[in-house]
Amino acid sequence: MSPAVWTRLDGAARSLSPMALTVLLIMVGMVPLRVPNLAPVMPALGLIAVYFWLVYHPESMPAWAVFLIGLVQDLLGGGALGVGVFVLLVVYAALAGQRRFFARGSFFFTWLTFLPTAAGAFFLTWMFNSLIADTALDPRPAAFQYLTTVAFYPCVAWVFVQAQRAFLK
Amino acid sequence: MKNPSGSVSRLTTPIKAWVQRFAFLFLVAGAFALMLLGKADTLLVERIRTAVGDAAAPILEFIARPIDSISVAVEGIGKLADLRARNVFLERENERLRHWQAVARRLEAENTALRSLTDMAPDPRLRFVTARVVGDQGGAFARSVLINAGTRDGVAKGQAAITSEGLAGRVVEVGVRSARVLLVTDINSRIPVLVGEGRDRAILAGDNTNQPRLRYLAPGTEIRPGDHVVTSGHGAIFPPGLPIGVVTQASETTMRVQPFVDWAHMEFLRLADYELPGTLLPAQGAAARRSGRRETGQ
């Protein structure tokens, strides 16, 4: 094969890697960790991943990739289908075109911006799950999951920064 | 005509943006379509779910095994410390259980004798398929787990999933090599049960908390904290008499049940294949018998 084909394949693999990494992370997050009462408050890794890539590498996270990540998360997690997809798309819409806003921001600044973003995302998740279940669901699990997600953000971000250095330079 | 590409891009940029926005709206519409599909509970959604589960199960299993070994090792170290106390406790419990075993044997013999006296129809035989839990973090709004056994192992929709402690849930979706078990705590779980010594009928309804509620009790039934809750066998899907949990709260408005299952250590699930004579297709039974993974129980 000619080098051009290899270069193109390499480029395709590189641009795919954020999405593949996110899907892999969601799968790892699915694995039973045998920690008591962890399942309901497991950090929403898909949300963290989509936020991170939209802030630092928006071109690697197009809308269709966000859609697919949400779909995988909904299908594997066993929750209401479509809710995760919709919430991630809303996050996408909120962050698309905000690149200049984040360009100068420090890590702490992006983490701080993640707080309201995730709060909105969890509120929407709670709202749509309640609509689908036809009752007002207990919002406390979502609140706890919000806290663990926000607290877990730096760990996931660190992993992605390493990945970014390895693949995307 | 100095810079033709510039004028073209000036023209295409709005179109491009418009197409992108349109694509985004299309995806959002897709998300809503998925919600409607999921709410309508169609066969298609189930097929897609099982297909994704089938694809992910081997990967999840691959990751889950070392984690299991690590957690077992960590627990082992923790247990090493109170080995002596544990030994004493277990010896005492063993003694107690021996006594209960004797009682159970006597009751079983008596039960058989009485059944033959009254010509009661025999209970269908129970067979078990054992599967590993490979995925369990459903988030805040679902209580279900993914297991690594499917139709090829004889798993079928509706089977009861139990641990050594009691009932954990029910199989709701089956793929070829994976299946999803809806736990008794999930908001969509409804299980016909019998409560207490009065064997009052009720429905155990999950609400995503750790303690599902008892509902649809006949008026005037008296339920006390500490009453045991077992499956009733109504609906002919579950074997009757599987232990589920104990009543912890019994007020006028809410009655809650603490399940026996230790959710944090649910490594394997046994799926009870409860064959009511004549209700299953013979071919299905034959396929199930061929499978190597099953054990035969009572």
Helix (H, G, I), strand (E, B) or coil at A99: helix
Inspect the interface and report whether the beta carbons of A79 and B139 lie closer than 8 Å: yes
**A37 chain-B contacts, CB cut-off 8 A:** 210, 263-264
Name the CA radius of gyration of chain B, rounded: 26
Q: Which domain holds residue A140?
A: 3-167
Percent of chain B exceeding pLDDT 70 equals 85
End-to-end CA distance of chain A: 24
**A89 chain-B contacts, CB cut-off 8 A:** 24, 27-28, 31
Report yes or no: A40 and A144 within 8 Å, Cβ to Cβ.
yes
Residue among B27, B65, B181, B183 with most chain A CBs within 10 A, to mutate: B27
The answer, yes or no, to whether residue B289 has pLDDT greater than 60, is no
Residue among B67, B71, B141 with most chain A CBs within 10 A, to mutate: B141
| Interface contacts (A, B; CB < 8 Å) | 158
Neighbouring C-beta atoms of residue B65, cutoff 10 Å = 13
Inspect the interface and report whether the beta carbons of A39 and B137 lie closer than 8 Å: yes
pLDDT digits (tens, 9 = 90+) for A67-91: 999 998 888 877 788 899 999 999 9
Q: Does B1 fall in a domain?
A: no
Q: Does B208 fall in a domain?
A: yes
Report yes or no: B260 and B245 within 8 Å, Cβ to Cβ.
yes
Measured distance CA(B257)–CA(B289) in Å, rounded: 36
pLDDT digits (tens, 9 = 90+) for B174-206: 988 889 999 999 888 889 999 988 888 899 998
Return the residue of B nearest to A24 by Cα: B59
pLDDT digits (tens, 9 = 90+) for B88-127: 889 999 999 999 988 888 888 888 888 888 877 766 677 7
Percent of chain A exceeding pLDDT 90 equals 22
Q: Measured between CB atoms, does A168 come within 8 Å of chain B?
A: no
CA of A147 to nearest chain B CA: how many angstroms apart? Answer: 12
Please give the distance of CA B230 from its chain centroid, rounded to a whole number. Answer: 15
Q: Does B220 fall in a domain?
A: yes
What pLDDT score does B279 carry?
47
Of the candidates B216, B194, B213, B195, the residue with the CA atom closest to the CA atom of residue B204: B213
Mean per-residue pLDDT of chain B = 80
Q: Which residues pair with B215 in a beta bridge?
A: B203
Q: Which of residues 239-268 of B touch A (CB under 8 A)?
A: 263-267
- Which residues are within 8 A (CB) of A155 and not within 5 positions of it... i.e. 6 or more apart? none
**A92 chain-B contacts, CB cut-off 8 A:** 24
What pLDDT score does B280 carry?
44
Which of B41-45, B126-130, B162-166, B175-179 is the least confident region?
B41-45
Helix (H, G, I), strand (E, B) or coil at A43: coil
Q: Does B169 fall in a domain?
A: yes
Total tally of structural domains belonging to chain B: 1
Q: Measured between CB atoms, does B144 come within 8 Å of chain A?
A: yes
Measured distance CA(B213)–CA(B203) in Å, rounded: 8
pLDDT band at A1, cuts 50/70/90? low
Q: Which of residues 174-193 of B touch A (CB under 8 A)?
A: 180, 182, 187
The answer, yes or no, to whether residue B40 has pLDDT greater than 70, is yes
Inspect the interface and report whether the beta carbons of A31 and B67 lie closer than 8 Å: yes
pLDDT digits (tens, 9 = 90+) for B50-102: 888 888 888 888 887 777 777 777 777 777 778 888 888 899 999 999 999 88
pLDDT band at B297, cuts 50/70/90? very low
Q: Which domain holds residue B271?
A: 42-81+123-298
CATH number at residue B283: 2.40.10.340
Q: Which of residues 24-83 of A touch B (CB under 8 A)?
A: 27-42, 44, 63-64, 66-67, 70-72, 74-83
What pLDDT score does B276 carry?
58
Mean per-residue pLDDT of chain A = 83
Q: Which of residues 38-77 of B touch A (CB under 8 A)?
A: 38-39, 45, 48-49, 52-53, 56, 59-60, 63-64, 67-68, 71
What pLDDT score does B11 carry?
54
Q: Does B73 fall in a domain?
A: yes
Total tally of structural domains belonging to chain A: 1
Q: Which of residues 149-178 of B touch A (CB under 8 A)?
A: none
Q: Measured between CB atoms, does A20 come within 8 Å of chain B?
A: no
pLDDT band at B236, cuts 50/70/90? low
pLDDT digits (tens, 9 = 90+) for A8-60: 777 766 666 788 888 888 888 887 776 666 667 788 888 999 999 888 888 88
Of the candidates B37, B45, B53, B34, the residue with the CA atom closest to the CA atom of residue B174: B53
Q: Does B275 fall in a domain?
A: yes
Inspect the interface and report whether the beta carbons of A40 and B52 lie closer than 8 Å: no
Q: Measured between CB atoms, does B209 come within 8 Å of chain A?
A: yes
CA of B165 to nearest chain A CA: how many angstroms apart? Answer: 16
